Amino acid sequence: MPAVDPSADRPKSLRLWISSHPAPRFVIVGGIAAVVDVATLRLLHGELGVELLIATALAYLVSGIPSFLLNRHWAFVGGADGVVHQQAGRFLLSIGVNLGATLLIVGGLSWLGVYYLLAKVIAIAINAIGNFFAYRHWVFTAR
């Protein structure tokens, strides 16, 4: 009898986990939004010379568009069943809180000498922890 490879079902199990739980989809969406955010910040501040905190705010707002759409329609399946204007309002409120935190983190760390893009990645990671729970239980509910 041939030996059974326990890893043979791993890709199927991984696909099942990604399709059945919002956490991995949230991480994927967050990664996409983070790339948009960091690239926009790099363009605005690094290339065009826009003041750091203004560029940080604009980059964060630009990344919010794919974040809202992908989280609503893919990461938090069922969220698309909710009332879009209510979800958008809650999302904008969470964006405001996160934007304030992002500006404090990026501004503070940059002031301490941390490279601004590293400071931005740190802010993204810190905000992501609270965002997962806020999005899952408050923003993208199907109420």
Range of the domain at 58: 16-139
Secondary structure in 3-state letters for the chain:
CCCCCHHHHHHHHHHHHHHHCHHHHHHHHHHHHHHHHHHHHHHHHHHCCCCHHHHHHHHHHHHHHHHHHHHHHHHCCCHHHCCHHHHHHHHHHHHHHHHHHHHHHHHHHHHCCCCHHHHHHHHHHHHHHHHHHHHHHHHCCCC
Among 2-6, 15-19, 59-63, whose mean pLDDT is lowest?
2-6
For the chain, what is the mean pLDDT?
Answer: 88
- The verdict on residue 113 lying in a domain is yes
- The verdict on residue 11 lying in a domain is no
- The verdict on residue 7 lying in a domain is no
Assess whether pLDDT exceeds 60 at residue 8: no
**What total of structural domains would you count in the chain?**
1
- The verdict on residue 1 lying in a domain is no
Assess whether pLDDT exceeds 80 at residue 93: yes
- The verdict on residue 54 lying in a domain is yes
- The verdict on residue 124 lying in a domain is yes
pLDDT score for 7? 55
List pLDDT tens digits, range 102-142. 999 999 999 999 999 999 999 999 999 999 999 988 998 86
- The verdict on residue 89 lying in a domain is yes
pLDDT score for 83? 82
Provide the 10 A C-beta neighbour count for residue 142: 12
Among 44-48, 57-61, 139-143, whose mean pLDDT is lowest?
139-143
Band (pLDDT 50/70/90 cuts) for residue 67 is very high
- The verdict on residue 9 lying in a domain is no
